[in-house]
Chains A and B, each alone.
Chain A
Amino acid sequence: MKKYDAIVIGAGHNGLTNAAYLAKSGMDVLVVEKNPWIGGASVSRSLHEGWTYSNCSYVCSLFRPEIYRDLELARHGLQVIPYEGGLTFMQDGDYFGNYSDHERHHRELARHSKRDANAYDRFSADVSRQTRLIRPFLMRTPPDPTSFKPADVMELVHMLKTYWDLGEDILYDTMRFWTMSVGDFLDEYFESDVIKAHMAGSGIIGTALGIYSPGTAYVLLHHYMGDVDGSIGSWGFARGGMGSIAKALAGSFQSFGGEIMTDAGVDKILVKNGETKGVVLENGDEHYADIVVSNLDPKRTFLKIMDENDLPPDVVKKAKNFKIRGSSGKLNISLDGMPTFRGIEKGHELLKADFHFIDSMERMERAYDDWKNGTWSKDPYVDTLIPTQVDPTMAPPGKHMMTVFVQYCPPKVNGEEWTDELRDEFGQTVINQIAEYSPDFKDLILHAEIRTPRELENEVGLTEGNIFQGELTMDQLLFNRPFPGYAQYRGPVKGMYMSGSGTHPGGGVMGAPGVNSAREILSDLSRKNVTPEAFSDE
């Protein structure tokens, strides 16, 4: 059987990014993917004729522009279109709108609170300071703080110097910011409940924590640190759906001679004498390579496709304790036309972006209470978009596609496995909430794909359906991601590496874990570094 230079397990965006860089450096690389399609959570599929869904991830901001440019993803067909707008519908019939234009936004904020309108500038500057701090570290391998290797020491010094340069006040803010709750953070700026509720969503998306749980302020930052064409904090649609990102990455990978095998789930990573030798597929086929990269989450990697006997007990224990709790669901809906929403005219610019139906911090927290009680939120926080207002490729002309991300949805319902009936009931809860604000919504539904953590886990392979491959809390970030001692993309077995969102800098369709991991592999092989340097914000 042919021997490859490297095998990458999982054709998600990070796996493909990793594979593309290994192939770009001249290596002979095979990507194996369990599904008949590629993309992982960056996937677009047509489940209702004429409509295309972004089945999992649905918007793009975090994807590193350096990778986009360097791998020529534009030439391979990728187009990310930024969107402007967004709103939160209120129970009293009003709404809070999110305008990109500063002056227009100020007027909208002032409509709800004059003080908040002004505080928003303070908020923006403070958040910008934090994003400015973290962005340069996205495309860098975190240092191991316990290591005395020159590279680690230098990187640690670099990191500390960057922090120190901020000045004392900001340093305090940073320490607090990384550990506090999004609720407490927003309370320091705003008095209007709907303004806080609108912004708090970014702190809990994909996270099994509530708005007043410590650590959620960072999750907000995680959603603010991306950019589209240099506009930091902007989000966009991938034309044709998020699968276009995977498709372009695959095109780039293949242009370097890479090979992708679908319907090729991995049963085991082959290890002999403490070194990886390749993979055994579920169908029994074996493929060989001295480098094996797992793009799967840490639990799947170490507990499912590796033999416990091949691993240090410490790693097994850490993998078992890794926090990767399912907390989200997703609805993808084919619509026969554009729904009407209460209190805002059809075609209003605010509707072109994300909209939500929870207008108070109290309701946000109650939604989390339901999850803690073992069920889905009866009044959920949803992140809803109708991308077809902008993207003409995902539904027939005049028709629409709606994507609804739902927080919270538990991995098990009251301790029991999900059933199809429960899944549909969950879907109905979400549809009912939207219908309260849109009288014609239900009549326009032609088809709906309802996904609970069960579907996300079974189809995409994300343990418990956790969209970030592990929670984004301080104990699992930077040199702690996925676990202390293993944050530099190297596994515990020689030749074994990790490239998924379970590694630094974490989840979101970012590509950074994939490129960072490739850089480490190339360095271990003494090959020339072909990965791009980060653009500077300075």
Chain B
Amino acid sequence: MSVREADKRVLRTPFYSRASELCQTNLWSPWKAYTTVDCYSYVEEEYFAIRNATGVFDLTPMIKYRISGPDGLAYLDKLMTRKMSKLTPGRVMYSAWCNDLGHVLDDGTVFHLEENLWRLCSAERHMDWLQATALGFDVEIEDETDDVVGLAVQGPTSCQTLKAMNLSCVENLKPFQHMSFDFEGTKLMVSRTGFTGDLGYELWVPSEYAEKLWDTLFEAGKAFGILPIGSHALDIVRIEAGFIQAEVDFVPALNVVRAGRGRSPFELGLDWLVHFDKPVFNGRRALLKEKEEGSRYRFVRLDIEGNKPASDSFIYNSKKDIVGHITSATWSPSAKKNIALGSVEMPWGRLGDELYAEIYYNRELKWNRLMARCHVVEGAFFDPPRRRETPPLDY
């Protein structure tokens, strides 16, 4: 008896042959259509590859749409809450997009590849919404998730690694810019983007060049401490960077069943992505109303006393009322802090508010409970200057 390949629940990414060779733990988890590595060796080791050297993460399962046509920019401007007019060829922009209730469907990055050609990378699938918004625009939208593969190459020695791949002038790439290089008869796109809040790049090629890209990259990175990283290590760095993740820190509006579970950009700390000075965009009316009347929730980044991660904790105010909950939590090995992201009811979560996380933790099958003081902080928990430096220093 055997299961037909087409009946396998999750697929192997084009990097599978390489990833499985390097995976000591043999621990994998499904991510969208694909199986991906949780942890290759030790989470700590992979975490520090990102913060100390170079960590490489397989981005294949990220949803990618190819958007083309003369109306592309106008279309994106309607779709996104952020003004896209500055998105010129060679640039990348991060934005959120909303439904008519002003609730976030997803957040992601848009690459302006060349004249009249864009790529949208997102966590969730959105073809239905993208097509619906396209009414009246001369654009074409294709799902290219399986055709294009990406590797995130992140960390203080990532630029040196790319230089060792002979990608000339890659060091001049500024954050949210991309450029292309000839690579083995195809085009390799390199963007200075990432999900780590560190110096880092993402490398994109057609899927059939995946293994070649992996091999070239790892050979180049040998002297720079390159290591593949799994999703567990990535999760720690993205929380340190203060980045939200769909289905973890918010429910994508498309999936919301229960009333009130959606979140607006204001309620996810994404105010800076909402540009009312453009006349039309999806969700504008609802967001304008929210801006005037006030939001229901506030997204908070919390520095929590002690060293017990506050995963799934309730958040209390000083009167011991439940005012919210933690959505992501970890001990931060770089900030050396106990950190978390959370959602609290208005008006709580202001700087200086007295908040507590109710933390449960297990010691040899005995559960302990503790109320740990939380301090609201602004910005990333770990924000190294190299993230912005161009050209970056050597490490």
Residues of A within 8 A of B (CB): 65, 68-69, 73-75, 79, 81-84, 100-101, 104, 228-231, 239, 349, 389-393, 397-398, 535-536, 538
A82 and B44 contact, CB distance less than 8 A = yes
Question: Once the chains bind, are B160 and A397 in contact (CB under 8 Å)?
Answer: yes
User: Closest approach, in angstroms, between the C-beta of B307 and any C-beta of chain A?
Assistant: 5
A-B contact pairs, 29 of them (CB 8 A): A65-B336, A69-B336, A73-B336, A74-B335, A79-B52, A81-B48, A81-B52, A82-B45, A82-B48, A83-B45, A101-B42, A104-B24, A229-B44, A229-B333, A230-B331, A231-B44, A239-B52, A349-B24, A349-B41, A390-B52, A392-B53, A392-B157, A397-B160, A397-B224, A398-B223, A535-B307, A536-B306, A538-B363, A538-B368
> In the complex, what residue of chain B is closest to A397 when comparing beta carbons?
B223
Q: Tell me what chain A mostly uses at the interface: helix, strand, loop, or mixed.
A: loop
User: Which residues from chain B contact A230 at a C-beta distance below 8 Å?
Assistant: 307, 331
Residues of B within 8 Å of A536, CB to CB, are: 306
Binding site for A on B (CB under 8 A): 24-25, 41-42, 44-45, 48, 51-53, 156-157, 160, 222-225, 306-307, 331, 333-337, 363, 368, 382, 395
User: Which of B24, B48, B307 touches A390 (beta carbons < 8 Å)?
Assistant: B48
- Cβ-closest chain B residue relative to A104: B24
Looking at chain B's contact residues, the main secondary structure is loop
With A and B bound together, what is the CA distance between A532 and B243 in angstroms? 30
Taking a contact as CB atoms under 8 Å apart, the answer to whether A84 and B42 are in contact is yes
CB of B395 within 8 A of CB of A393, answer yes
Structural contact, A392 and B225, CB atoms closer than 8 A: yes
Which residue of chain B has its CB nearest to the CB of A66?
Answer: B307
CB–CB B331/A229 < 8 A: yes
The 8 closest A-B pairs by CB, nearest first: A397-B223, A398-B223, A535-B307, A81-B48, A69-B336, A229-B333, A74-B336, A68-B336
Q: Return the chain A residue nearest B381 by Cβ.
A: A74
Q: How far is the CA of A81 from the CA of B50 in the complex (A)?
A: 11
With A and B bound together, what is the CA distance between A536 and B156 in angstroms? 33
Q: Which residues from chain A contact B225 at a C-beta distance below 8 Å?
A: 389-390, 392
Give Cα A229 to B24, complex, Å.
Answer: 22
Query: Min CB distance, A59 to chain B, in Å?
Result: 14
Other A-B contacts than A69-B337, A79-B51, A228-B44, 10 sampled, CB-CB below 8 A, are A65-B336, A74-B335, A82-B45, A82-B48, A100-B42, A104-B24, A230-B307, A239-B52, A392-B225, A538-B363
Minimum CB–CB distance from A337 to chain B (whole Å) comes to 10
Are A65's CB and B307's CB within 8 A? Answer: yes
Given contacts A79-B334, A100-B42, contact A392 B52 (CB under 8 A): yes
What residues of B have a CB within 8 angstroms of the CB of A68 in the complex?
336
Least CB distance from A161 to B in Å reads 19
Is the CB–CB distance between A535 and B306 below 8 Å? Answer: yes
Residues of chain A within 8 A (CB-CB) of B160 are 397
From residue B224, how far is it (CB to closest CB) to chain A in Å?
6
Q: Are B156 and A392 in contact (CB under 8 A)?
A: yes
Asked if A74 and B334 sit within 8 Å, CB to CB, the answer is: yes
Chain A residues within an 8 Å CB radius of B331: 229-230
Residues of chain A contacted by B45 (CB below 8 angstroms): 82-84
For A397, what are the chain B residues with a Cβ–Cβ distance below 8 Å? 160, 223-224
Query: What is the distance, in angstroms, from B181's C-beta to the closest C-beta of chain A?
Result: 21
The answer for the CA separation of A229 and B334 in the assembled complex, in Å, is 9
A392 engages B44 (CB within 8 Å): no
Chain A residues within an 8 Å CB radius of B41: 84, 349
Q: Is the CB of B44 within 8 A of A74?
A: no
Tell me the complex Cα distance, A69–B336, Å. Answer: 5
The distance from the CB of A17 to the nearest CB of chain B, in whole angstroms, is 15
Closest CB in chain B relative to A255 CB, distance in Å: 16
Chain B: which residue is nearest A100 at the CB level?
B42
In whole angstroms, what is the CA distance A397 to B221 when docked? 10
With a CB–CB cut-off of 8 A, which chain B residues contact A84? 41-42, 44-45
Q: How far is the CA of A65 from the CA of B331 in the complex (A)?
A: 12
**Chain B, Cβ-Cβ closest to A537:** B363
Complex CA gap A398/B48 in Å reads 19
Tell me the smallest distance from the CB of A52 to a CB of chain B, in Å. Answer: 12
Return chain B residues, CB-CB under 8 Å to A391: 52
Complex CA distance for A199 and B20, rounded to whole angstroms? 33
Q: How far is the CA of A367 from the CA of B331 in the complex (A)?
A: 42
Interchain CA distance A83-B157 in the complex, whole Å: 18
The residue of chain A having its C-beta at the shortest distance from the C-beta of B382 within the complex is A74
C-alpha gap A536/B308 in the complex (Å): 9
